[in-house]
Structure 1
Amino acid sequence: MNLTRRRFLCISAAALCAGASPAAPARWRGIALGAEAEITLHGPGAEAVLTEAIARVRGIERAFSLYDPTSELARLNASGRLAPSPAFRLLLRQADAVHRATGGAFDPSVQPLWQALARGGDVEAARALTGWERMTIRQDVTLAPGQALTFNGIAQGFATDVVTDLLASRGFGRALVNIGEHRALGGPWRLGLSDPAAGYLGTRTLADGAIATSSPAALRLGTGGHILDPRGLRAPLWSTASVEAESAAQADALSTACCLLDPDEIRRAMAVLPRIRRVTLVDGAGRLRTLTAG
Protein backbone atom coordinates (compact mmCIF):
# COMPACT_ATOMS: atom_id res chain seq x y z
CA MET A 1 0.00 0.00 0.00
CA ASN A 2 1.62 3.23 -1.10
CA LEU A 3 1.17 6.23 1.15
CA THR A 4 0.20 8.67 -1.59
CA ARG A 5 -2.42 11.40 -1.64
CA ARG A 6 -4.84 9.26 -3.59
CA ARG A 7 -8.56 9.78 -3.22
CA PHE A 8 -9.59 6.13 -2.86
CA LEU A 9 -11.46 5.32 0.33
CA CYS A 10 -10.84 1.86 1.76
CA ILE A 11 -11.69 0.78 5.28
CA SER A 12 -10.79 -2.69 6.52
CA ALA A 13 -11.60 -3.46 10.15
CA ALA A 14 -11.74 -6.49 12.40
CA ALA A 15 -13.75 -6.54 15.62
CA LEU A 16 -11.98 -7.87 18.71
CA CYS A 17 -14.57 -10.17 20.19
CA ALA A 18 -13.24 -13.20 22.05
CA GLY A 19 -14.89 -16.42 20.99
CA ALA A 20 -16.80 -14.93 18.07
CA SER A 21 -17.25 -17.28 15.13
CA PRO A 22 -15.97 -16.24 11.71
CA ALA A 23 -18.54 -14.55 9.50
CA ALA A 24 -18.59 -13.22 5.97
CA PRO A 25 -17.44 -9.59 5.86
CA ALA A 26 -19.85 -6.74 5.21
CA ARG A 27 -18.86 -4.81 2.09
CA TRP A 28 -19.92 -1.61 0.35
CA ARG A 29 -18.64 -0.03 -2.84
CA GLY A 30 -19.70 3.35 -4.13
CA ILE A 31 -18.69 6.99 -4.44
CA ALA A 32 -17.57 8.99 -1.40
CA LEU A 33 -15.91 12.40 -1.26
CA GLY A 34 -15.90 12.43 -5.06
CA ALA A 35 -13.95 9.18 -5.41
CA GLU A 36 -14.52 5.46 -5.80
CA ALA A 37 -14.98 3.99 -2.35
CA GLU A 38 -14.93 0.61 -0.65
CA ILE A 39 -15.61 -0.34 2.96
CA THR A 40 -15.05 -3.87 4.27
CA LEU A 41 -15.84 -4.75 7.89
CA HIS A 42 -15.24 -8.07 9.67
CA GLY A 43 -16.91 -9.11 12.91
CA PRO A 44 -20.20 -9.21 14.79
CA GLY A 45 -22.53 -6.33 13.96
CA ALA A 46 -20.56 -5.39 10.86
CA GLU A 47 -23.63 -4.76 8.68
CA ALA A 48 -25.13 -2.27 11.15
CA VAL A 49 -21.83 -0.47 11.65
CA LEU A 50 -21.27 -0.37 7.89
CA THR A 51 -24.58 1.47 7.49
CA GLU A 52 -23.51 3.94 10.18
CA ALA A 53 -20.11 4.48 8.57
CA ILE A 54 -21.65 5.28 5.20
CA ALA A 55 -24.05 7.72 6.84
CA ARG A 56 -21.16 9.48 8.60
CA VAL A 57 -19.25 9.86 5.33
CA ARG A 58 -22.34 11.26 3.62
CA GLY A 59 -22.75 13.73 6.46
CA ILE A 60 -19.19 14.96 5.96
CA GLU A 61 -19.87 15.39 2.25
CA ARG A 62 -22.96 17.45 3.06
CA ALA A 63 -20.82 19.71 5.23
CA PHE A 64 -17.59 20.19 3.31
CA SER A 65 -18.11 19.52 -0.40
CA LEU A 66 -17.13 22.33 -2.76
CA TYR A 67 -19.21 20.81 -5.53
CA ASP A 68 -22.55 20.24 -3.82
CA PRO A 69 -24.33 23.63 -3.87
CA THR A 70 -26.36 22.60 -0.82
CA SER A 71 -23.33 21.79 1.36
CA GLU A 72 -22.52 24.02 4.31
CA LEU A 73 -19.23 25.05 2.73
CA ALA A 74 -20.80 25.90 -0.64
CA ARG A 75 -23.52 27.95 1.07
CA LEU A 76 -20.92 29.80 3.14
CA ASN A 77 -18.85 30.59 0.04
CA ALA A 78 -21.93 31.74 -1.86
CA SER A 79 -23.45 33.98 0.82
CA GLY A 80 -20.46 34.86 2.99
CA ARG A 81 -22.29 33.82 6.16
CA LEU A 82 -23.23 30.51 7.83
CA ALA A 83 -24.69 29.19 11.06
CA PRO A 84 -22.38 26.15 11.26
CA SER A 85 -23.25 22.66 12.42
CA PRO A 86 -21.24 21.19 15.34
CA ALA A 87 -19.07 19.22 12.90
CA PHE A 88 -18.36 22.31 10.80
CA ARG A 89 -17.47 24.29 13.92
CA LEU A 90 -15.15 21.51 15.10
CA LEU A 91 -13.30 21.48 11.78
CA LEU A 92 -12.96 25.28 11.95
CA ARG A 93 -11.28 24.95 15.36
CA GLN A 94 -8.91 22.28 14.08
CA ALA A 95 -8.02 24.33 11.02
CA ASP A 96 -7.47 27.42 13.14
CA ALA A 97 -5.05 25.57 15.43
CA VAL A 98 -2.86 24.44 12.52
CA HIS A 99 -3.08 27.85 10.84
CA ARG A 100 -1.73 29.51 13.99
CA ALA A 101 0.95 26.89 14.62
CA THR A 102 2.31 27.16 11.06
CA GLY A 103 2.39 30.95 10.85
CA GLY A 104 -0.36 30.96 8.23
CA ALA A 105 1.17 28.35 5.91
CA PHE A 106 -2.02 26.34 6.30
CA ASP A 107 -4.91 28.59 5.28
CA PRO A 108 -8.27 27.32 3.96
CA SER A 109 -9.03 30.81 2.60
CA VAL A 110 -6.72 30.03 -0.33
CA GLN A 111 -9.68 29.00 -2.52
CA PRO A 112 -9.81 32.26 -4.60
CA LEU A 113 -6.10 31.85 -5.38
CA TRP A 114 -6.66 28.23 -6.43
CA GLN A 115 -9.50 29.30 -8.72
CA ALA A 116 -7.46 32.10 -10.28
CA LEU A 117 -4.61 29.74 -11.11
CA ALA A 118 -6.96 27.06 -12.44
CA ARG A 119 -8.90 29.48 -14.63
CA GLY A 120 -6.15 31.87 -15.67
CA GLY A 121 -7.49 34.72 -13.54
CA ASP A 122 -5.81 37.61 -11.73
CA VAL A 123 -3.51 35.80 -9.29
CA GLU A 124 -2.40 38.85 -7.31
CA ALA A 125 -5.95 40.10 -6.87
CA ALA A 126 -6.97 36.64 -5.68
CA ARG A 127 -4.04 36.45 -3.25
CA ALA A 128 -5.20 39.73 -1.71
CA LEU A 129 -8.50 38.02 -0.81
CA THR A 130 -6.81 35.29 1.23
CA GLY A 131 -6.28 35.54 4.96
CA TRP A 132 -7.85 33.29 7.58
CA GLU A 133 -7.66 36.11 10.12
CA ARG A 134 -10.02 38.23 7.96
CA MET A 135 -12.82 35.76 8.67
CA THR A 136 -15.04 36.14 11.77
CA ILE A 137 -16.04 33.08 13.80
CA ARG A 138 -18.66 33.75 16.46
CA GLN A 139 -22.21 32.38 16.62
CA ASP A 140 -22.10 32.52 12.81
CA VAL A 141 -19.14 32.31 10.45
CA THR A 142 -18.70 35.44 8.34
CA LEU A 143 -16.28 35.75 5.43
CA ALA A 144 -14.68 39.01 4.34
CA PRO A 145 -15.83 40.33 0.92
CA GLY A 146 -14.58 38.13 -1.91
CA GLN A 147 -13.37 35.33 0.37
CA ALA A 148 -14.04 31.62 -0.13
CA LEU A 149 -12.82 28.58 1.80
CA THR A 150 -11.65 25.11 0.83
CA PHE A 151 -11.12 22.29 3.30
CA ASN A 152 -9.41 19.99 0.80
CA GLY A 153 -6.27 20.07 2.98
CA ILE A 154 -8.03 18.75 6.10
CA ALA A 155 -11.47 17.28 5.33
CA GLN A 156 -10.20 13.86 4.24
CA GLY A 157 -8.30 13.54 7.52
CA PHE A 158 -11.38 14.74 9.39
CA ALA A 159 -13.49 12.05 7.68
CA THR A 160 -10.87 9.45 8.53
CA ASP A 161 -11.08 10.42 12.22
CA VAL A 162 -14.89 10.35 12.23
CA VAL A 163 -15.07 6.84 10.78
CA THR A 164 -12.22 5.52 12.94
CA ASP A 165 -13.83 6.89 16.09
CA LEU A 166 -17.12 5.26 15.09
CA LEU A 167 -15.43 1.88 14.63
CA ALA A 168 -13.70 2.16 18.01
CA SER A 169 -16.97 3.05 19.74
CA ARG A 170 -18.62 -0.03 18.21
CA GLY A 171 -15.95 -2.42 19.43
CA PHE A 172 -13.74 -2.71 16.38
CA GLY A 173 -10.30 -2.81 17.97
CA ARG A 174 -8.17 -3.41 14.89
CA ALA A 175 -8.72 -1.30 11.80
CA LEU A 176 -6.93 0.63 9.11
CA VAL A 177 -9.03 3.46 7.71
CA ASN A 178 -8.02 5.24 4.51
CA ILE A 179 -10.09 8.16 3.26
CA GLY A 180 -7.24 9.89 1.49
CA GLU A 181 -5.28 9.74 4.77
CA HIS A 182 -4.66 6.77 7.08
CA ARG A 183 -5.56 6.13 10.69
CA ALA A 184 -5.10 2.85 12.56
CA LEU A 185 -6.76 1.18 15.48
CA GLY A 186 -4.36 -1.37 16.89
CA GLY A 187 -1.72 -2.69 14.60
CA PRO A 188 1.00 -2.81 13.62
CA TRP A 189 0.25 -1.90 10.01
CA ARG A 190 2.95 -1.46 7.38
CA LEU A 191 2.54 1.50 5.02
CA GLY A 192 4.71 2.42 2.09
CA LEU A 193 5.98 5.93 1.39
CA SER A 194 6.15 7.12 -2.22
CA ASP A 195 7.17 10.41 -3.81
CA PRO A 196 5.96 11.59 -7.25
CA ALA A 197 9.52 12.05 -8.51
CA ALA A 198 11.59 9.59 -6.46
CA GLY A 199 9.04 6.75 -6.44
CA TYR A 200 8.86 4.17 -3.68
CA LEU A 201 11.07 5.11 -0.71
CA GLY A 202 10.33 2.49 1.93
CA THR A 203 7.84 1.40 4.58
CA ARG A 204 6.89 2.47 8.07
CA THR A 205 4.89 0.87 10.85
CA LEU A 206 1.72 2.47 12.18
CA ALA A 207 -0.18 1.52 15.33
CA ASP A 208 -2.96 3.49 17.04
CA GLY A 209 -2.25 6.66 15.12
CA ALA A 210 -2.53 8.46 11.80
CA ILE A 211 -0.35 9.26 8.81
CA ALA A 212 -1.11 11.94 6.22
CA THR A 213 1.05 12.74 3.21
CA SER A 214 1.18 15.73 0.85
CA SER A 215 3.12 16.05 -2.39
CA PRO A 216 2.84 19.34 -4.33
CA ALA A 217 3.56 17.65 -7.66
CA ALA A 218 0.83 15.03 -7.17
CA LEU A 219 -1.55 17.44 -8.89
CA ARG A 220 -0.56 20.21 -11.29
CA LEU A 221 -2.20 23.62 -11.01
CA GLY A 222 -1.24 26.18 -13.63
CA THR A 223 2.52 25.92 -14.06
CA GLY A 224 3.18 24.54 -10.57
CA GLY A 225 1.89 22.14 -7.94
CA HIS A 226 -1.42 22.26 -6.13
CA ILE A 227 -0.07 23.29 -2.71
CA LEU A 228 -0.05 27.09 -2.63
CA ASP A 229 1.59 29.45 -0.16
CA PRO A 230 -1.23 31.80 0.87
CA ARG A 231 1.37 34.22 2.25
CA GLY A 232 3.08 34.49 -1.15
CA LEU A 233 6.45 33.84 0.47
CA ARG A 234 7.83 30.81 -1.34
CA ALA A 235 7.36 27.83 -3.59
CA PRO A 236 7.17 24.41 -1.87
CA LEU A 237 10.43 23.41 -0.20
CA TRP A 238 9.76 19.66 -0.18
CA SER A 239 8.66 17.16 -2.79
CA THR A 240 6.73 15.21 -0.15
CA ALA A 241 5.87 15.78 3.51
CA SER A 242 4.40 12.99 5.63
CA VAL A 243 3.14 13.57 9.18
CA GLU A 244 2.43 10.98 11.88
CA ALA A 245 0.07 12.04 14.65
CA GLU A 246 -2.82 10.77 16.76
CA SER A 247 -5.36 12.72 14.69
CA ALA A 248 -5.68 12.26 10.93
CA ALA A 249 -7.19 15.74 10.54
CA GLN A 250 -4.24 17.34 12.28
CA ALA A 251 -1.77 15.24 10.30
CA ASP A 252 -3.57 16.12 7.05
CA ALA A 253 -3.45 19.87 7.63
CA LEU A 254 0.11 19.88 8.95
CA SER A 255 1.43 17.79 6.04
CA THR A 256 0.03 20.42 3.66
CA ALA A 257 1.74 23.23 5.57
CA CYS A 258 5.03 21.35 5.97
CA CYS A 259 5.60 21.44 2.22
CA LEU A 260 6.03 25.22 2.63
CA LEU A 261 8.06 25.28 5.86
CA ASP A 262 11.75 24.89 6.64
CA PRO A 263 12.84 22.40 9.34
CA ASP A 264 13.02 25.00 12.11
CA GLU A 265 9.52 26.23 11.30
CA ILE A 266 8.24 22.64 11.30
CA ARG A 267 9.82 21.99 14.71
CA ARG A 268 8.12 25.08 16.12
CA ALA A 269 4.76 23.86 14.80
CA MET A 270 5.36 20.40 16.29
CA ALA A 271 6.07 21.99 19.67
CA VAL A 272 2.74 23.84 19.60
CA LEU A 273 0.45 21.15 18.22
CA PRO A 274 -0.38 18.24 20.56
CA ARG A 275 0.45 14.61 19.80
CA ILE A 276 2.50 15.07 16.63
CA ARG A 277 4.86 12.09 16.51
CA ARG A 278 7.08 12.46 13.47
CA VAL A 279 7.47 14.39 10.21
CA THR A 280 9.21 12.81 7.23
CA LEU A 281 10.39 15.13 4.47
CA VAL A 282 11.54 14.26 0.95
CA ASP A 283 13.58 16.85 -0.94
CA GLY A 284 13.77 17.34 -4.70
CA ALA A 285 16.61 14.83 -4.98
CA GLY A 286 14.65 12.12 -3.17
CA ARG A 287 16.62 12.41 0.08
CA LEU A 288 14.75 11.71 3.32
CA ARG A 289 14.84 13.83 6.46
CA THR A 290 12.99 12.93 9.66
CA LEU A 291 11.94 15.24 12.50
CA THR A 292 10.65 13.68 15.72
CA ALA A 293 8.67 15.18 18.56
CA GLY A 294 10.39 16.11 21.81
Structure 2
Amino acid sequence: MSLGRRRFLTVTAAALAAGPALAAPGLQHWQGRALGADLRLSVAGLAPDAARALWRDVARALDGIERRFSLYRRSEVTRLNATGLLARPSRDFAALVALCDRVHDATDGAFDPTVQGVFEAQAGGRDPAAARAAAGWGRLMRRDGGLRLPPGAALTFNGIAQGWAADRIAALMRARGLQDVLIDMGEIAALGRHPEGRDWRAAIAGPAGQRLADITLRDRALATSSPMATRIGPDGLPHILHPDGRAPRWSTVAVSARSAALADALSTAFCLMDRAAIDTALAAFPQARIEAAAI
Protein backbone atom coordinates (compact mmCIF):
# COMPACT_ATOMS: atom_id res chain seq x y z
CA MET A 1 0.00 0.00 0.00
CA SER A 2 1.31 3.46 -0.85
CA LEU A 3 1.29 6.64 1.26
CA GLY A 4 -1.77 6.49 3.53
CA ARG A 5 -4.69 8.77 2.79
CA ARG A 6 -4.52 10.70 6.04
CA ARG A 7 -0.77 11.19 5.85
CA PHE A 8 -1.09 12.19 2.19
CA LEU A 9 -3.60 14.87 3.07
CA THR A 10 -1.41 16.15 5.88
CA VAL A 11 1.58 16.46 3.56
CA THR A 12 -0.18 17.98 0.57
CA ALA A 13 -3.52 19.63 1.28
CA ALA A 14 -2.20 21.00 4.59
CA ALA A 15 0.65 22.94 3.07
CA LEU A 16 -0.49 25.96 5.08
CA ALA A 17 0.85 24.19 8.16
CA ALA A 18 4.39 23.98 6.88
CA GLY A 19 7.36 26.24 6.49
CA PRO A 20 7.03 29.92 7.46
CA ALA A 21 3.55 29.48 8.96
CA LEU A 22 4.89 27.29 11.74
CA ALA A 23 8.05 29.32 12.16
CA ALA A 24 6.16 32.54 12.85
CA PRO A 25 6.52 34.11 16.31
CA GLY A 26 3.53 34.06 18.62
CA LEU A 27 2.52 30.48 17.86
CA GLN A 28 2.57 27.46 20.17
CA HIS A 29 2.73 24.08 18.42
CA TRP A 30 1.68 20.52 19.20
CA GLN A 31 2.21 17.34 17.23
CA GLY A 32 0.65 13.96 17.93
CA ARG A 33 -1.11 11.04 16.33
CA ALA A 34 -4.69 9.78 16.24
CA LEU A 35 -6.98 7.92 13.82
CA GLY A 36 -3.89 6.63 12.05
CA ALA A 37 -2.72 10.17 11.18
CA ASP A 38 0.01 12.57 12.20
CA LEU A 39 -1.68 15.62 13.72
CA ARG A 40 -0.58 19.20 14.26
CA LEU A 41 -1.94 22.26 16.06
CA SER A 42 -0.75 25.86 15.95
CA VAL A 43 -2.27 28.25 18.49
CA ALA A 44 -1.72 32.01 18.76
CA GLY A 45 -1.89 34.03 21.96
CA LEU A 46 -1.00 31.21 24.33
CA ALA A 47 1.78 31.13 26.93
CA PRO A 48 3.97 27.99 27.06
CA ASP A 49 2.60 26.87 30.45
CA ALA A 50 -0.99 27.28 29.28
CA ALA A 51 -0.11 25.42 26.09
CA ARG A 52 1.13 22.39 28.01
CA ALA A 53 -2.17 22.18 29.90
CA LEU A 54 -4.11 22.60 26.66
CA TRP A 55 -2.18 19.80 24.95
CA ARG A 56 -3.24 17.43 27.74
CA ASP A 57 -6.87 18.36 27.08
CA VAL A 58 -6.35 17.80 23.37
CA ALA A 59 -4.88 14.35 24.00
CA ARG A 60 -7.87 13.39 26.16
CA ALA A 61 -10.31 14.63 23.52
CA LEU A 62 -8.56 12.67 20.78
CA ASP A 63 -8.56 9.54 22.91
CA GLY A 64 -12.33 9.86 23.23
CA ILE A 65 -12.71 10.27 19.47
CA GLU A 66 -10.59 7.18 18.85
CA ARG A 67 -12.69 5.17 21.32
CA ARG A 68 -15.66 5.90 19.10
CA PHE A 69 -14.45 5.90 15.50
CA SER A 70 -11.01 4.34 15.13
CA LEU A 71 -10.38 1.24 13.01
CA TYR A 72 -6.89 0.99 14.54
CA ARG A 73 -7.93 0.12 18.13
CA ARG A 74 -10.95 -1.15 20.03
CA SER A 75 -13.76 1.32 19.47
CA GLU A 76 -17.49 1.56 18.96
CA VAL A 77 -17.07 1.07 15.23
CA THR A 78 -14.85 -2.02 15.61
CA ARG A 79 -17.36 -3.51 18.07
CA LEU A 80 -20.18 -2.87 15.62
CA ASN A 81 -18.19 -4.45 12.79
CA ALA A 82 -17.21 -7.47 14.90
CA THR A 83 -20.65 -8.23 16.35
CA GLY A 84 -23.03 -6.54 13.92
CA LEU A 85 -24.68 -4.73 16.85
CA LEU A 86 -24.12 -1.53 18.80
CA ALA A 87 -26.91 -1.46 21.35
CA ARG A 88 -26.07 1.91 22.94
CA PRO A 89 -24.09 4.16 20.62
CA SER A 90 -22.58 7.21 22.24
CA ARG A 91 -24.04 10.65 21.56
CA ASP A 92 -21.12 11.46 19.26
CA PHE A 93 -21.51 8.19 17.36
CA ALA A 94 -25.23 8.82 16.86
CA ALA A 95 -24.52 12.41 15.73
CA LEU A 96 -21.96 11.24 13.18
CA VAL A 97 -24.39 8.63 11.84
CA ALA A 98 -26.98 11.41 11.44
CA LEU A 99 -24.50 13.51 9.43
CA CYS A 100 -23.70 10.46 7.30
CA ASP A 101 -27.43 10.12 6.62
CA ARG A 102 -27.57 13.68 5.30
CA VAL A 103 -24.50 13.39 3.09
CA HIS A 104 -25.49 9.94 1.79
CA ASP A 105 -28.91 11.27 0.78
CA ALA A 106 -27.54 14.47 -0.79
CA THR A 107 -24.92 12.57 -2.81
CA ASP A 108 -27.38 9.92 -4.00
CA GLY A 109 -25.44 7.23 -2.17
CA ALA A 110 -21.92 8.17 -3.32
CA PHE A 111 -20.96 8.72 0.33
CA ASP A 112 -21.41 5.30 1.91
CA PRO A 113 -19.49 4.22 5.04
CA THR A 114 -20.49 0.56 4.55
CA VAL A 115 -17.67 0.04 2.02
CA GLN A 116 -15.20 -1.30 4.60
CA GLY A 117 -15.86 -4.90 3.56
CA VAL A 118 -15.25 -3.99 -0.08
CA PHE A 119 -12.02 -2.24 0.90
CA GLU A 120 -10.81 -5.28 2.86
CA ALA A 121 -11.64 -7.65 -0.02
CA GLN A 122 -9.85 -5.54 -2.60
CA ALA A 123 -6.88 -4.91 -0.30
CA GLY A 124 -6.54 -8.67 0.11
CA GLY A 125 -6.87 -9.37 -3.60
CA ARG A 126 -10.21 -11.15 -3.15
CA ASP A 127 -13.40 -10.95 -5.18
CA PRO A 128 -15.41 -8.07 -3.65
CA ALA A 129 -18.79 -9.29 -4.99
CA ALA A 130 -20.06 -10.65 -1.65
CA ALA A 131 -18.92 -7.54 0.21
CA ARG A 132 -20.68 -5.31 -2.32
CA ALA A 133 -23.87 -7.32 -1.89
CA ALA A 134 -23.74 -6.79 1.89
CA ALA A 135 -22.95 -3.06 1.66
CA GLY A 136 -25.40 -0.18 1.47
CA TRP A 137 -25.93 2.59 4.01
CA GLY A 138 -29.68 2.13 3.73
CA ARG A 139 -29.26 -1.39 5.16
CA LEU A 140 -27.94 -0.07 8.48
CA MET A 141 -30.81 -0.88 10.84
CA ARG A 142 -31.83 1.42 13.69
CA ARG A 143 -34.00 0.03 16.47
CA ASP A 144 -34.58 1.08 20.08
CA GLY A 145 -31.68 3.52 19.87
CA GLY A 146 -29.25 0.84 18.68
CA LEU A 147 -27.59 0.05 15.37
CA ARG A 148 -27.36 -3.28 13.56
CA LEU A 149 -25.41 -4.21 10.43
CA PRO A 150 -26.58 -6.88 7.99
CA PRO A 151 -24.41 -10.03 7.83
CA GLY A 152 -21.16 -9.41 5.99
CA ALA A 153 -21.31 -5.61 6.21
CA ALA A 154 -18.74 -3.40 7.94
CA LEU A 155 -18.43 0.35 8.53
CA THR A 156 -15.55 2.75 8.09
CA PHE A 157 -15.73 6.41 9.03
CA ASN A 158 -12.36 7.11 7.41
CA GLY A 159 -14.07 9.45 4.95
CA ILE A 160 -15.43 11.70 7.68
CA ALA A 161 -13.86 10.94 11.09
CA GLN A 162 -10.74 13.06 10.74
CA GLY A 163 -12.93 16.03 9.81
CA TRP A 164 -15.10 15.24 12.81
CA ALA A 165 -11.96 15.25 14.96
CA ALA A 166 -10.93 18.64 13.60
CA ASP A 167 -14.38 20.03 14.46
CA ARG A 168 -14.23 18.65 17.99
CA ILE A 169 -10.79 20.12 18.60
CA ALA A 170 -11.97 23.44 17.17
CA ALA A 171 -14.87 23.39 19.64
CA LEU A 172 -12.39 22.69 22.46
CA MET A 173 -10.27 25.66 21.39
CA ARG A 174 -13.27 27.99 21.30
CA ALA A 175 -14.36 26.78 24.73
CA ARG A 176 -10.90 27.76 26.03
CA GLY A 177 -11.33 31.24 24.56
CA LEU A 178 -8.77 30.71 21.80
CA GLN A 179 -9.60 32.52 18.57
CA ASP A 180 -6.59 32.08 16.27
CA VAL A 181 -5.85 28.40 15.75
CA LEU A 182 -4.75 26.14 12.90
CA ILE A 183 -5.89 22.53 13.32
CA ASP A 184 -4.42 19.91 11.00
CA MET A 185 -6.10 16.55 11.50
CA GLY A 186 -5.49 15.49 7.92
CA GLU A 187 -8.40 17.83 7.26
CA ILE A 188 -7.88 21.47 8.18
CA ALA A 189 -9.86 23.74 10.48
CA ALA A 190 -8.59 27.33 10.53
CA LEU A 191 -9.94 29.58 13.28
CA GLY A 192 -9.44 33.33 13.15
CA ARG A 193 -6.19 34.60 11.68
CA HIS A 194 -2.48 33.96 11.55
CA PRO A 195 -0.50 36.02 14.12
CA GLU A 196 0.73 38.23 11.26
CA GLY A 197 -2.85 39.47 10.89
CA ARG A 198 -3.62 37.66 7.63
CA ASP A 199 -5.87 34.70 6.96
CA TRP A 200 -4.35 31.23 7.08
CA ARG A 201 -3.02 30.10 3.69
CA ALA A 202 -3.52 26.71 2.09
CA ALA A 203 -1.97 25.09 -0.97
CA ILE A 204 -4.03 22.25 -2.47
CA ALA A 205 -2.08 19.51 -4.23
CA GLY A 206 -2.91 16.45 -6.30
CA PRO A 207 -1.70 12.88 -5.72
CA ALA A 208 1.59 13.48 -7.53
CA GLY A 209 2.28 16.59 -5.45
CA GLN A 210 1.31 19.04 -8.20
CA ARG A 211 -0.13 22.31 -6.92
CA LEU A 212 -3.76 22.77 -7.95
CA ALA A 213 -4.81 25.90 -6.06
CA ASP A 214 -3.84 28.38 -3.35
CA ILE A 215 -6.56 29.59 -1.02
CA THR A 216 -6.97 31.40 2.27
CA LEU A 217 -9.03 30.23 5.22
CA ARG A 218 -10.62 32.05 8.12
CA ASP A 219 -13.14 30.31 10.37
CA ARG A 220 -13.42 27.66 7.69
CA ALA A 221 -12.35 24.07 7.09
CA LEU A 222 -10.71 22.41 4.09
CA ALA A 223 -10.71 18.75 3.05
CA THR A 224 -9.00 17.18 0.06
CA SER A 225 -9.55 13.66 -1.31
CA SER A 226 -7.51 11.89 -4.01
CA PRO A 227 -8.57 8.32 -4.84
CA MET A 228 -5.05 7.29 -5.93
CA ALA A 229 -3.33 8.83 -2.91
CA THR A 230 -3.57 5.36 -1.41
CA ARG A 231 -3.64 2.33 -3.72
CA ILE A 232 -4.97 -0.91 -2.34
CA GLY A 233 -4.50 -4.55 -3.19
CA PRO A 234 -2.19 -6.23 -5.70
CA ASP A 235 -3.72 -4.24 -8.57
CA GLY A 236 -3.15 -0.84 -6.93
CA LEU A 237 -6.83 0.11 -6.93
CA PRO A 238 -8.07 3.51 -5.69
CA HIS A 239 -8.98 3.56 -2.01
CA ILE A 240 -12.15 5.68 -2.40
CA LEU A 241 -14.89 3.19 -3.16
CA HIS A 242 -18.56 2.97 -3.96
CA PRO A 243 -20.51 -0.22 -3.17
CA ASP A 244 -21.60 -0.54 -6.79
CA GLY A 245 -17.99 -0.57 -8.00
CA ARG A 246 -18.11 2.67 -10.00
CA ALA A 247 -14.72 4.18 -10.81
CA PRO A 248 -13.66 7.60 -9.48
CA ARG A 249 -14.25 10.48 -11.87
CA TRP A 250 -11.72 12.90 -10.36
CA SER A 251 -8.09 12.56 -9.34
CA THR A 252 -8.52 15.18 -6.59
CA VAL A 253 -11.40 17.12 -5.10
CA ALA A 254 -11.01 19.81 -2.43
CA VAL A 255 -14.01 21.16 -0.53
CA SER A 256 -14.25 23.90 2.06
CA ALA A 257 -17.07 24.41 4.55
CA ARG A 258 -17.61 25.73 8.04
CA SER A 259 -17.63 22.10 9.24
CA ALA A 260 -14.52 19.97 8.63
CA ALA A 261 -16.59 16.79 8.91
CA LEU A 262 -18.93 17.99 6.18
CA ALA A 263 -16.02 19.06 3.95
CA ASP A 264 -14.36 15.68 4.54
CA ALA A 265 -17.45 13.66 3.62
CA LEU A 266 -18.27 15.75 0.56
CA SER A 267 -14.73 15.67 -0.83
CA THR A 268 -14.79 11.87 -0.50
CA ALA A 269 -18.15 11.48 -2.23
CA PHE A 270 -17.47 14.02 -4.97
CA CYS A 271 -14.57 11.94 -6.27
CA LEU A 272 -17.23 9.45 -7.45
CA MET A 273 -19.70 11.96 -8.94
CA ASP A 274 -20.03 13.97 -12.14
CA ARG A 275 -20.16 17.75 -11.94
CA ALA A 276 -23.94 17.97 -12.37
CA ALA A 277 -24.47 15.58 -9.45
CA ILE A 278 -21.92 17.51 -7.37
CA ASP A 279 -23.77 20.77 -7.99
CA THR A 280 -27.04 19.13 -6.95
CA ALA A 281 -25.45 17.90 -3.72
CA LEU A 282 -23.93 21.30 -2.97
CA ALA A 283 -27.40 22.86 -3.10
CA ALA A 284 -28.19 20.87 0.06
CA PHE A 285 -25.17 22.41 1.85
CA PRO A 286 -24.97 26.14 0.98
CA GLN A 287 -22.00 26.59 3.35
CA ALA A 288 -19.82 24.24 1.27
CA ARG A 289 -17.97 24.96 -1.98
CA ILE A 290 -15.51 23.31 -4.34
CA GLU A 291 -12.01 24.78 -4.02
CA ALA A 292 -10.31 22.56 -6.58
CA ALA A 293 -11.16 19.58 -8.77
CA ALA A 294 -8.84 17.78 -11.16
CA ILE A 295 -9.61 14.97 -13.58
Match of 1:225 among 224, 238, 253: 238
Per-residue CA shift, 1:112-161, capped at 9, x if unaligned?
10010011222111111110001112400111111110000000000000
Aligned match of 2:216 in 201, 205, 210?
A: 205
Q: CA deviation at 1:52?
A: 1.2
**Residue number in structure 1 paired with 2:187:** 181
In structure 2, C-alpha distance between the alignment counterparts of 1:194 and 1:211, rounded to whole Å: 12
Q: In structure 2, give the amino acid aligned to 1:236.
A: P
Structure 2 residue 128 is matched with structure 1 residue 123: yes
State whether residues 240 and 259 of structure 1, in contact with CA within 8 Å, keep that contact through their aligned partners in structure 2: yes
User: Aligned match of 2:252 in 240, 243, 257?
Assistant: 240
Matches of 2:11 and 2:128, distance apart in 1: 27
For residues 121 and 212 of structure 1, what CA distance do their matches in structure 2 show?
31
Higher relative contact order (CA 8 A, sep 6+): 2
Matches within 5 A, 1:55-134: 55-68=60-73, 70-82=74-86, 83-134=88-139
Q: Which runs of 5+ in 1 are unaligned?
A: 13-22, 284-294
**What residue ranges of structure 2 are gaps of 5+ in the alignment?**
1-6, 18-24, 194-198
Q: Distance in 1 between matches of 2:204 and 2:40?
A: 22
Aligned residue identity for 1:276: A
Q: TM-score, normalised by structure 1?
A: 0.85
- Read off the aligned partner of 2:278 and give its amino acid letter: I
1:214-293 aligned at under 5 Å gives the runs: 214-222=225-233, 223=235, 224-232=237-245, 234-283=246-295
- The structure-2 alpha-carbon separation of the partners of 1:7 and 1:71, relative to structure 1 and needing over 3 Å to count, comes to farther
> Per the alignment, do residues 204 and 7 of structure 1 end up closer, same or farther by CA in structure 2, a change over 3 Å counting?
closer
1: CA distance, partners of 2:286 / 2:165 = 19
Cα distance in 2 for partners of 1:10, 1:59 equals: 27
Partner-residue secondary structure (3-state), 1:272:
coil
Alpha-carbon distance, 1:29 to partner:
4.0
1:151 aligns with 2:154: no
Question: What's the offset of the Cα at 1:30?
Answer: 3.7
Identity of aligned residues (%): 46
Q: Contact between 1:10 and 1:37, CA under 8 Å: does it hold in 2?
A: no
Of 174, 177, 193, which residue of structure 2 is paired with 1:171? Answer: 177
2:247 is matched by which residue type in structure 1? A
> How much does 1:192 deviate?
0.3
The 3-state SS of whatever aligns with 1:108 is coil
Between 1:41-50 and 1:81-90, the stretch displaced more is: 41-50
Larger mean CA deviation between 47-56 and 174-183 belongs to: 47-56
Measure how far apart 1:202 and its partner are.
3.2
Name the structure with the higher strand share: 1
Distance 1:27 1:177, change over 3 A: closer
